[in-house]
Amino acid sequence: MAASAEAPSADPPQSGDAGEDSEPVVTPWTVSGDVDYNKLVDKFGCSLIPPEMVERIERLTGMPVHPFLRRGIIFAHRELNIILDCYEKGLPFYLYTGRGPSSEALHLGHLVPFMFTKYLQDAFKAPLVIQLTDDEKSLWKNLDVDEARRLARENAKDIIACGFDIARTFIFSDYDYVGGAFYRNASRIQRCVTLNQVKGIFGFTGEDNIGKISFPAIQAAPSFPDSFPHMFGTRKDIRCLIPCAIDQDPYFRMTRDVAPRIGHHKPALIESRFFPALQGISGKMSASDTTTAIYTGDSPKEIKSKISKYAYSGGRATVEEHRLKGADLDVDIPFKYLSFFLDDDEKLETIRQEYGSGRMLSGEVKAELIQLLQDLVARHQAARSKVTEDVVDMFMAVRPMPGLFR
Amino acid sequence: MAASAEAPSADPPQSGDAGEDSEPVVTPWTVSGDVDYNKLVDKFGCSLIPPEMVERIERLTGMPVHPFLRRGIIFAHRELNIILDCYEKGLPFYLYTGRGPSSEALHLGHLVPFMFTKYLQDAFKAPLVIQLTDDEKSLWKNLDVDEARRLARENAKDIIACGFDIARTFIFSDYDYVGGAFYRNASRIQRCVTLNQVKGIFGFTGEDNIGKISFPAIQAAPSFPDSFPHMFGTRKDIRCLIPCAIDQDPYFRMTRDVAPRIGHHKPALIESRFFPALQGISGKMSASDTTTAIYTGDSPKEIKSKISKYAYSGGRATVEEHRLKGADLDVDIPFKYLSFFLDDDEKLETIRQEYGSGRMLSGEVKAELIQLLQDLVARHQAARSKVTEDVVDMFMAVRPMPGLFR
């Protein structure tokens, strides 16, 4: 899985980077340009999440929905209604998400899908599988196999720090777990997908290595419960819900096409917008340029400095102009970040009005964000420091997992 | 692995069947036309086995070489000399062969590489891995995954009946064994091979499924010892020798290209000619037409009837003409079969002279062959009947295997 909810990844495999003026590009490896999410939903063929669906989730789970859902950050879906029907009838389902471990340091964009998945697990008491695609990163980034495995374990620590329930969560690295029932499902999927199809979906060319060509089946296989016999035995009736950023949609469109042909339910999807780079909504968060993002390992000082210096502001050129016109909230990165991470709806609304009308200045909004992220990152670091190697081993153990369902 | 040493397989993936008049075609899935083995060796870039090398094997192992080697049925190699150098110095090597389990019934052609491998194991006291590519057969023949696994187990019984040493032999099905260290090696190989390369080597097209595209890495992975940690730990110094029919050469040319790039020795090869169909050296042994081959399950009556009726004869149209010209041994199938399976060199030479000069008649040669094959098949059936499910489990168990080397 490419870095979900991360705006853009560092190296698209084939397609050139689109400049800011070009058509936006959204693939599992590249997100660039100004993304029109309504158009994307039309193009991909998924659906917007309507307000009634958000209300239904709140009603069914008996707890407030996550701010990401209230605020349209999680905004699109495929057959989420079927998952909610299941839940209502007391039928089991499980969650599947993942990460491609291409670097040691995770940034805030990487955390978004995991924060949301943690909420889903808590709200629905659902089992969860988390795939670390160390094989993908080795195939795409020419990363040494053992280095990719090491990064997978390091990333697992950050993921575990998000607070997942160890009794219901299985984290696995492809290089360690692929085999047996999982490999058989991957092979069943591969048999149903032609080279022409993956060329059409992913843009592969003759210069791509053959591991890339067949990799989509490895990312598809966790969508089927019998890929995890230690969790679900040979059951095929347990449906899968995949929280991910919308750039991963092509993988799961393919998976959904194949599913009925191999006797499985189609996985459902719940999809997020992209998390923007500090430099602006069309900018790129880059692993090689650490000024483009806030990392989970950043110190309070680094956070303050990066936001002060680099966060693209929608404030106006002069205080006078700002007081007159108000900030341009559509492009203001500190406000975008607050709308991701400030849980307090009222406070966020106050900032929207005050800043948008020009009464609040850019520096004041940045100060709010700095405080918020310093706290959030400090909490994350404290949680991560408790994740020992033993804890990682426990989450990643192929173990009997009784009582997975209510 | 496609059916090694089997003349031609039933369904080539893309390339059309060449008729008898067309250029011969030799790929891992198709062998047709009159094969010129010298040309093939030139084209593939392997080497003929010179008489000195056969003598060296005899000297090193202190036992007579297998008739297949003496008679040029095993005729080509790649770097066999390096394996012999190792053996001479007391350095370890292991053997790797395989079979694609596409049908329940094996015919005599299928047994050829296993009979020869059994000799190699005995002569060199070498460990052996046997790959059953149930995944390949599922991907190519649209065979159900579980049916392919069942066929793999059934085929394992015929293979075990050839007499392998359980203390030195690991038999595995890809659907059960691929994973972990094996999967990591397959991925390392995949990273080094482009789509264009496999199109060039194997003739894949856009209509082929993506499992086929990446499969060559699955057949390549057993060439590296650390794909079998339970046998060889993490050792990379143990060289691999692959006995196979020459149609498998393209797989291992690819493997040999990749090997040094991932820090491994190139596997060595020892290659056989094809075993012809009853209908003639350009004919096809077909799974759907059981009259084209002698199967390990055939009764004495079936063997007699098939050879009498279908075995293409090099005898002449009339007895008078036959006495005058002698048999055409180049096309005579009974004589070809005798040269595979009649161990007695003197007797074979007598038949060559008597039959070739016309003193012996086609019916007499067929009678010799019928007796020989009835005995051979009866011995095989007796051995196979002793291969219980427990014995299969033992050969296929991922188990510590101490004392693999002299």
pLDDT in tens, A304-341: 999 999 999 999 999 999 999 999 999 999 999 999 99
**CA separation for the pair A394, A121 (Å, rounded):** 18
Which residues partner with B25 through β-bridges?
Answer: B32
Q: What are phi and psi of A68, to 5 degrees?
A: -55, -35
Q: Residue type at A301? A: K
A31 pLDDT tier (thresholds 50, 70, 90): low
Rounded to whole angstroms, the Cα distance separating B280 from A159 reads 64
- On chain A, the residues whose CB falls within 8 A of the CB of B208 are 194-195
| A213 contacts B187? CB cut-off 8 A | no
Q: How far is B215 from chain A (nearest CA, A)?
A: 9
User: If you average pLDDT over every residue of chain A, what do you get?
Assistant: 92
Quick: pLDDT tens for A346-390: 999 999 999 999 999 999 999 999 999 999 999 999 999 999 999
- What pLDDT shows up at residue A389? 98
Q: For residues B1 and A191, which has the higher predicted lDDT (pLDDT)?
A: A191
- Preferred mutation among A150, A192, A209 to probe B, highest tally of B CBs within 10 A: A209
Which of A15-19, A240-244, B150-154 is least confident?
A: A15-19
Q: What is the pLDDT of residues A224-249, one digit of tens each?
A: 999 999 999 999 999 999 999 999 99
A-B CB pairs within 8 A amount to: 124
Find chain B residues with C-beta within 8 A of A194's C-beta: 206-210
Which residues in chain B are contacts of A183 at CB distance < 8 A?
135, 174-175, 178-179, 183
Q: Residue A5: pLDDT band by 50, 70, 90 thresholds?
A: very low
> Of B93 and A406, which is predicted with more confidence?
B93
* pLDDT for position A19: 39
Nearest to B209 among A176, A193, A204 (CB): A193
A26's tokens: 């959204």
Q: What is the pLDDT of residues A181-228, one digit of tens each?
A: 999 999 999 999 999 999 999 999 999 999 999 999 999 999 999 999
Kindly indicate the confidence band of residue B85, based on its pLDDT and cuts at 50, 70 and 90: very high
> Which regions of B39-103 does DSSP assign to beta strands (E)?
47-48, 74-78, 93-99
Smallest CA–CA separation between B283 and chain A, in Å?
30
Q: Is the pLDDT of residue B358 over 60?
A: yes
- What is the pLDDT at residue B103? 87
Hey, is B265 helix, strand or coil? coil
Q: Scanning every residue of chain B, which has its alpha carbon at the shortest distance from the alpha carbon of A204? A: B195
Residue-by-residue DSSP string for B132-191: E-HHHHHHHH---HHHHHHHHHHHHHHHHTTT--TTTEEEEEHHHH-BHHHHHHHHHHHH
* Cβ-Cβ contacts under 8 Å, A197 against chain B: 210
Q: Which residues pair with A272 in a beta bridge?
A: A74, A245
Average pLDDT for B298-310 = 97
Predicted confidence at residue B79, as pLDDT, reads: 98
Interface contact flag, B214 A139, Cβ < 8 Å: no
- Which pLDDT does position A58 carry in this prediction? 98
Percent of chain B scored above 70 by pLDDT? 91
Q: What is the DSSP letter of A107?
A: B
Q: What is the CA radius of gyration of chain A?
A: 21
- pTM for this one? 0.92
Predicted local confidence at residue B132, as pLDDT: 98
Its ipTM equals 0.91
How confident is residue B9, by pLDDT bands cut at 50, 70 and 90?
very low
- Residue percentage of chain A with pLDDT more than 70: 91
pLDDT value at position A12? 36
What pLDDT shows up at residue B1? Answer: 57
Q: Is residue A261 predicted with pLDDT exceeding 80?
A: yes
Tell me what pLDDT residue B35 has: 79
| A145 in contact with chain B, both atoms CB, cutoff 8 A | yes
- Answer yes or no: is pLDDT of B405 > 90: no
Q: What is the pLDDT of residue A405?
A: 83
CA distance, residue A125 to nearest chain B CA (Å): 31
Inter-chain touch B213–A213, beta carbons under 8 Å: yes
Tens digit of each residue's pLDDT (9 = 90 or more) over B219-231: 999 999 999 999 9
- Taking the CA of residue A317 and the nearest CA in chain B, the distance in Å comes to 51
Q: Which long-range contacts (CB under 8 A, 24 or more apart) does A300-304 make?
A: A300/A374, A300/A377, A300/A378, A303/A370, A303/A373, A303/A374, A303/A377, A304/A370, A304/A374
Chain A: closest CA distance from residue B146 (Å): 9
Residue A326: CB atoms within 10 Å: 19
